[in-house]
Structure 1
Amino acid sequence: MGEYVAQRHWGISVDTHTILRWGIVVPVSILLGWLFSMWHVPAAWILAAIIASGAMALITGEDLKVNRKFYGLSRGFIGIMAALPLTVVSFGQLVGYLPAAITMSFVTIALGIFCGVMLHRQRPRDVSSETGILSMLPGGASLMPALADELGADYRYVALTQYLRLLIVSISLPAVVTFLDTPAGRGGDLRLEAETTWWIIALVLVIALVGESLGKFLHLPAAAVLGPLILTVLASFFLPEGHTLEPIYAFKVIAFLSIGWVCGGGLSLPSLKAFAKQLPATILSIAAVLGLCAATAWPLMHWLNISYFEAYLATSPGALETVLALSAEGGAGPVVIAVQLTRLIAVLVIAGYLPQLIRAVSKFAKRR
């Protein structure tokens, strides 16, 4: 397709046809991302990239492949961003809420796994066990497509389902909490605000670039994400006070665009038709996850003697940035971030070892 030109990009030969397609997709993605951000659309940059690359893939009838090295760097940024909340909560705060947090986390994760298995059983040819479970795990929406790609699941279906849930949660959260009594003035600001210097930017780049190699050396699942995540947590212990490893906005945009391009660039009419067939069951599963999370907030409220506002935000299935912003505005205590982080860690562990867990359960079922 197209006349090949004598040049290499990131170590891979590129033809003029591919250059022309990316020459359209990149500026359109940036324009849409900027507009969606101005309109406060959830997951603005990812959605913009999915639309731009998906339209190109559907119009041309060809996959739009993202360079693996560029995508690896982007997944490194995702791993760093996932680690940031782990670096701002003290160990003592986490330990105090740990029993309740673990209990509630595994209840909601268990429902997500159950709904994912039901999706797989309904259409086993279209949705694998890994794909169904990763689609329904509560929290970590930005991580799931990258993990799905690493684990051999259908990252397109996972991305579409996770961001449908993210959209629903992001829109519903601000509306719901307006009807709840807030403990304003009792909590601290949980947002990540710190000084960014040139050496922080350089360190973020280094972690994003070498994190995958560390993850592979340690034989971690989803090494491209978990490697940078672990490096970020370790490096945070040595940072001067007032500094975090939060990537600059440009790095975040690159990471989100990359995820969107990978998901949208692989879209085709058959894959969209398959997703449409699953849409009723998918929406029902998402509603079940949201409903159970809201229900688990009641026992959590009485267990820890906190407000329902705090418990509801603590058990919200995803949209962590929205959760933290609402927590800060409403004066919520550290329980919100403690429960959310506990569940995020549990989701990462379960998702990372998902193929092994599924094989173990299958062997046990056969023996029975």
Structure 2
Amino acid sequence: MSARRNFSFRDSAVPTQWAALIALTLLLSGVLIALRLPAGLMLGAIVAAAAISNFDGKTHVSSRAFIMAQAAIGGMIAQKMTPAILHEMARDWPLFIAAAFSVVAVSGLFGWLLTKWRLFPGTTAIWGALPGAASAMVVMADAYGADMRLVAFMQYLRVLLVALVASLIARFWAPGAGAGAGPLAHFFAPVAWPAFAVTLAVLLGAAFVAQRLRIPAGPLLLPLFVGALAQDSGLFALELPPRFLALNYAILGWCVGQRFSRAILLHAFKALPAILGSVVALIALCAGLSVILAAITHKDPLTAYLAMSPGGIDAVAIIAASAKLDLPFVMALQAARVLMVILIGPGVARFLSGAAPAASTMLAGDDDPAID
């Protein structure tokens, strides 16, 4: 408290605040990436922006930059919808739907319980528990009126814990897992500029069309579907350089972090035991579901476990590839789960929130900075 009273960015020039934000983001992200934590850049950006915001900083990210970040995330998910994954899903679609739905159902149950216990306002707990791509869930939760800040807190805590447990299990069963190159190995790889220009034009065009049409979460969803269709039809291959994705991860992190007020952080930490308990229970239940999946498909237990892992699709892909597992199977089920949550998430959130008592609104109306 005293540090907050003695130091403030209130009277600092905006360029100075941005310099502090970028420097702190690089420092925190570097530490997280060095520790091989998933989404390290985005997490570092969230913490940095939240810190600046809590010291009265005013480093707002423009709405156009926010739309670009959503389009990039949609394109990143579309890149994973390769023909091999789609073929795997089409061949055994009843199995994938049942397996993906079981994870979504278990996660929705935990979200409903957290809502029933009045730990979070509105549908926030439900969105925070849904096991989709974490960044996609944050964006969609905001579009559907949930508290983006608390959803981010729940989603990224789950991503970290799920990835940590999956990494430990993979290292136990497959000692070579994780020994390969990390996500920054090709950070400075040459860029196919013509393909990148086409990709950028298509994704941004789709995002701004969705924005003009006021499609809920459209700046993420429309680029995702357009990009996947263009790539899998052979029209063109999506080119998303790691440097471009890193920039957009940081932008999204700043958008989320700048909305973390002191009241939000205090409230989130008060609910931390319940969040941790729900994540641990979710991991355990998904591990139990993976035993059933392994018995039905005759896949090895580690492949089944990673396929049923509730979140962290990027981290799961890296672990599965380095452990030389059945990567198409793992990614097919992970992609099916992500798509299922994106498509039915709003309906699930509305249904579950209607089945739960009205949640506390103690955080409504706080003076969080808006995205301009």
Q: 1:324 deviation in Å?
A: 1.5
Q: 1:351 deviation in Å?
A: 2.4
Residue of structure 2 equivalent to 1:49: 45
Q: What is the alpha-carbon distance in structure 1 between the residues aligned to residue 190 and residue 287 of structure 2? A: 36
Report whether the alignment pairs 1:114 with 2:109.
Answer: yes
Q: 1:170 deviation in Å?
A: 1.5
Q: 2:341 aligns with which of 347, 362, 366?
A: 347
2:92 aligned counterpart, secondary structure: helix
Residue of structure 2 equivalent to 1:38: 34
Query: Which string of whole-angstrom CA distances, capped at 9 and with x for unpartnered residues, describes residues 43-65 of structure 1?
Result: 211121112111111111x5643
2:132 aligned counterpart, secondary structure: coil
Residue of structure 2 equivalent to 1:234: 229
Report whether the alignment pairs 1:270 with 2:263.
Answer: yes
TM-score (norm 2): 0.82
Gaps of 5+ in 2: 1-10, 178-185, 357-372
Higher mean C-alpha displacement, 311-320 vs 246-255: 246-255
Identical amino acids, percent of aligned pairs: 28
- The 1:360–1:48 alpha-carbon spacing in structure 2 relative to 1, beyond 3 Å, is closer
Residue of structure 2 equivalent to 1:166: 159
Q: 1:34 deviation in Å?
A: 3.3
Query: Which string of whole-angstrom CA distances, capped at 9 and with x for unpartnered residues, describes residues 272-315 of structure 1?
Result: 11101211111111112111110101111111111111101110
Report whether the alignment pairs 1:292 with 2:275.
Answer: no
Residue of structure 2 equivalent to 1:128: 122
Query: Which string of whole-angstrom CA distances, capped at 9 and with x for unpartnered residues, describes residues 184-213 of structure 1?
Result: 9xxxxxxxx998411121122213311223
Residue of structure 1 equivalent to 2:5: none
- Give the alignment's Cα RMSD to 1 decimal: 2.8
Q: Is the contact between residue 97 and residue 338 of structure 1 (CA under 8 Å) also seen in structure 2?
A: no
Report whether the alignment pairs 1:210 with 2:199.
Answer: no
1:86 aligned counterpart, secondary structure: coil
Residue of structure 2 equivalent to 1:9: none
Counterpart residue type for residue 51 of structure 1 = V
Report whether the alignment pairs 1:337 with 2:331.
Answer: yes
Q: Is the contact between residue 221 and residue 353 of structure 1 (CA under 8 Å) also seen in structure 2?
A: no
Gaps of 5+ in 1: 1-14, 185-192, 363-368
Residue of structure 2 equivalent to 1:310: 303
- The 1:266–1:143 alpha-carbon spacing in structure 2 relative to 1, beyond 3 Å, is same
Q: 2:133 aligns with which of 134, 140, 152?
A: 140
- The 1:309–1:232 alpha-carbon spacing in structure 2 relative to 1, beyond 3 Å, is same
Higher mean C-alpha displacement, 306-315 vs 82-91: 82-91
Report whether the alignment pairs 1:19 with 2:11.
Answer: no
- The 1:113–1:360 alpha-carbon spacing in structure 2 relative to 1, beyond 3 Å, is same
Q: 1:222 aligns with which of 207, 217, 222?
A: 217
Q: 1:156 deviation in Å?
A: 0.6
- The 1:358–1:22 alpha-carbon spacing in structure 2 relative to 1, beyond 3 Å, is same
Q: Is the contact between residue 73 and residue 220 of structure 2 (CA under 8 Å) also seen in structure 1?
A: yes
Q: 1:353 deviation in Å?
A: 4.3
Q: Is the contact between residue 80 and residue 228 of structure 1 (CA under 8 Å) also seen in structure 2?
A: yes
Counterpart residue type for residue 224 of structure 1 = P
- The 1:166–1:67 alpha-carbon spacing in structure 2 relative to 1, beyond 3 Å, is same
Q: Is the contact between residue 202 and residue 223 of structure 2 (CA under 8 Å) also seen in structure 1?
A: yes
Q: Is the contact between residue 148 and residue 155 of structure 1 (CA under 8 Å) also seen in structure 2?
A: yes
Q: Is the contact between residue 53 and residue 260 of structure 2 (CA under 8 Å) also seen in structure 1?
A: yes
- The 1:197–1:144 alpha-carbon spacing in structure 2 relative to 1, beyond 3 Å, is same
Q: What is the alpha-carbon distance in structure 1 between the residues aligned to residue 204 and residue 298 of structure 2? A: 44
Residue of structure 2 equivalent to 1:250: 243
Q: What is the alpha-carbon distance in structure 1 between the residues aligned to residue 89 and residue 113 of structure 2? A: 33
Across the two proteins, how many residue pairs are aligned to each other? 336
Q: What is the alpha-carbon distance in structure 2 between the residues aligned to residue 88 and residue 196 of structure 1? A: 23
Q: What is the alpha-carbon distance in structure 2 between the residues aligned to residue 117 and residue 355 of structure 1? A: 9
Residue of structure 2 equivalent to 1:97: 92
Query: Which string of whole-angstrom CA distances, capped at 9 and with x for unpartnered residues, describes residues 162-185 of structure 1?
Result: 111111112111211233379x9x
Q: What is the alpha-carbon distance in structure 2 between the residues aligned to residue 161 and residue 359 of structure 1? A: 17
1:280 aligned counterpart, secondary structure: helix
